[in-house]
Amino acid sequence: MRRCGNAAALVAFFLGVAWSFPSPAVSAAAYPLISAPLRAPVAPACISTPFGPRTLPARPLAGTFHNGIDIPAPAGAPVRAIAVGTVIRVVRRGPGGLQILIQHPGFIGIYSHLGMVTPAIAEGQRVVHAGEKIGVVGHSGLMYGMHLFFAMLVDGKAVDPAPYLALSLCHETHRTLADMLDAKGKIPPTHQYALAR
């Protein structure tokens, strides 16, 4: 099992080279502690892939540690800010596809696999309010089923968002490895990684 122990490398991975806004000159001390529960970024919400170690045979790009949670949602479902915050960057790169990074009070929220961001954010809106639509779920990045990937970074380290969002596993719709296999015994991606930009 390999986990990124270098906080700077993890933050750099998510921030990447991207379409970005000027970085706000705000220190983490300016934000109060995280208050839970926060609102879920999509509704209804449950967790199909939890935070933590995982094994996806023949899928090395998926990694061996899931630094966030997957919340199943149909394409086009609205994605909403879980708390007030400031947009750090809109990124289209790698396995996360189109993603928005938002500095929320006490943490950075990472919303990945978006189909698009709202026109206001695309045009440079920086401040978002809790519950405000920031984009829609889409087919971007490396995906194995439609979902929103959501991660939280606290002091540069990935933390499990589930307790803060008061979410549990999708018992009725939780996908097991057997559910994901196609006729050839392989997990088919919903979108080819090579096509993601």
pLDDT tens per residue, range 117-174: 999 999 999 999 999 999 999 989 878 788 999 999 998 888 999 888 988 898 744 4
**Residues, the chain:** 197
Residue 99's beta-bridge partner residues?
91
Which two structure tokens, joined as six digits, stand for 194? Answer: 């090579």
- Domain ranges (residues) in the chain: 41-168+184-195
Architecture of domain 41-168+184-195: Distorted Sandwich (2.70)
- Residue 185 class from Cβ within 10 Å (0-12 exposed, 13-18 middle, 19+ buried)? exposed
Output the pTM of the full model. 0.71
Query: And the tokens for 137?
Result: 């779920």
- The residue with tokens 């986990």 is 3
Identify the pLDDT of residue 131: 95
What is the pLDDT confidence band of residue 25, given thresholds at 50, 70 and 90? very low
Helix segments in the chain, DSSP class H: 7-15, 119-122, 162-165, 177-180
Q: What is the pLDDT of residues 48-90, one digit of tens each?
A: 888 887 766 666 555 667 789 999 999 999 999 999 999 999 9
Rounded to 10 degrees, the C-alpha dihedral 177/181/184/185 comes to 0
Q: How far is it, in rounded angstroms, from Cα 140 to Cα 113? A: 5
